[in-house]
Amino acid sequence: MSLLVAERIGVSFGGVRAVQDLSFAVEAGEVFSIVGPNGAGKTTIFNLISRFYDVDGGRLLFDGADITRLPRHGVAERGIARTFQNTELFERETVLNNLLIGCHVYRRTGLVQDLLFLPAVRRQELAFRRTAEDVIDLLDLQHYRDQVIANLPYGIRKMVEVARALCLKPRLLLLDEPSSGLNPEETEDLAFWIEDINEELGITVIMVEHDMNLVARASDRVMALADGALLTIGAPEEVRRHPDVLRAYLGD
């Protein structure tokens, strides 16, 4: 069974049909990339899955369950984590605190326990900290642990956002243009990390990405969009050579 299924989803903003009548399925364990020119509707798909927008029609199924009407905070609880195209971090907090907030779905203590910092809270904090430290080690963020986000360079922020998403221990990770703003070395590292995340942690990845080399290297399948509609889905090389895709990128 596919992990994520989109059945004829669509959404419009005023006159703009950002996503129209789109169907696709993402298999558990794969890296699935979404490509397309600017304004094609890639980010909108993520925002539909995250429930920031309501679909005008169609359904989204995650692991067989309908998530089309889930409350926004319920998406993370189901095991879907995401990053944002221009990063959305907790600016005034440290990297560590950002990651600890990423552990929020695993909290079992309530307000009163927290206020009194009962032993259960302390144990939970230590468990969260171990999760955060594992992710810090994985993504090599040790140097930045206690730094406030607002003081970090862009490339590091991008990685902190990935790290924060990993703290949710998601089953599905949505990466929105992870390589934008990274230099070539950082992009190289990113390709390895996506591999690690996918293969070692067993997380299914959907990635919106412009860098075609990264897409070709990291993904199992690619979906190409233009003007909110599907062009084609297939192996990276196929999609790259597909006439509709060439036309969408180059104009006719």
Binding site for Mg ion (CB under 5 A): 43, 85
Could you tell me which of 49, 54, 5 has the C-alpha nearest to residue 25?
A: 5
In terms of CB distance, is 139 or 208 closer to ligand ADP?
208
The DSSP call for residue 225 is E
Residue 64 interacts, among other proteins, ligand ADP, Mg ion, none and using kind-specific CB cut-offs from 5 to 8 Å, with none
Let me know: does 181 contact 159? Beta carbons within 8 Å. no
Of 1 and 250, which has the nearer Cβ to ligand ADP?
250
Q: Is 143 in the site for other proteins (CB under 8 A)?
A: no
Determine contact, residues 181/154, Cβ cutoff 8 Å: yes
Min separation Cβ 80 and other proteins, Å: 8
Among 5, 24, 35, 36, indicate the residue that binds ligand ADP (CB under 6 A).
36
Q: Work out how close the CB of 237 gets to Mg ion at its nearest, in angstroms, rounded to a whole number.
A: 24
Q: Is 1 in the site for other proteins (CB under 8 A)?
A: no
State in angstroms the smallest separation of the CB of 129 from other proteins: 4
CB 110 within 8 A of CB 121: no
Q: Kindly state the tokens that stand for 164.
A: 């924060």
- Least separation, in Å, of the C-beta of 39 and ligand ADP? 4
Min dist CB 8 to ligand ADP, Å, is 18
Q: What is the CA radius of gyration of the chain?
A: 19
DSSP result, 55-117: -SEEEEEETTEE-TT--HHHHHHHTEEE--TT----TTSBHHHHHHHHTGGG----HHHHHHT
- HSE (side-chain half, CA atoms, 13 Å) at 178: 29
Partner that binds at residue 18, options ligand ADP, Mg ion, other proteins, none, CB closer than 5 to 8 Å by kind: ligand ADP
By beta-carbon proximity to ligand ADP, the closer residue of 38 and 252 is 38
Q: Which of 27, 88, 196, 244 binds other proteins (CB under 8 A)?
A: 88
Nearest to 205 by CA among 194, 214, 215: 194
H-type alpha helices, the chain: 42-49, 72-78, 95-102, 111-116, 119-138, 154-166, 184-199, 212-218, 236-241, 243-250
- Under rule CB under 8 A, residue 82 binds other proteins: yes
What residues line the site for other proteins (CB under 8 A)? Answer: 43, 47, 50, 52, 71-77, 81-82, 84-93, 96-97, 100-105, 107, 109-111, 113-117, 121-122, 124-126, 129-130, 133, 150-154, 157, 164, 168
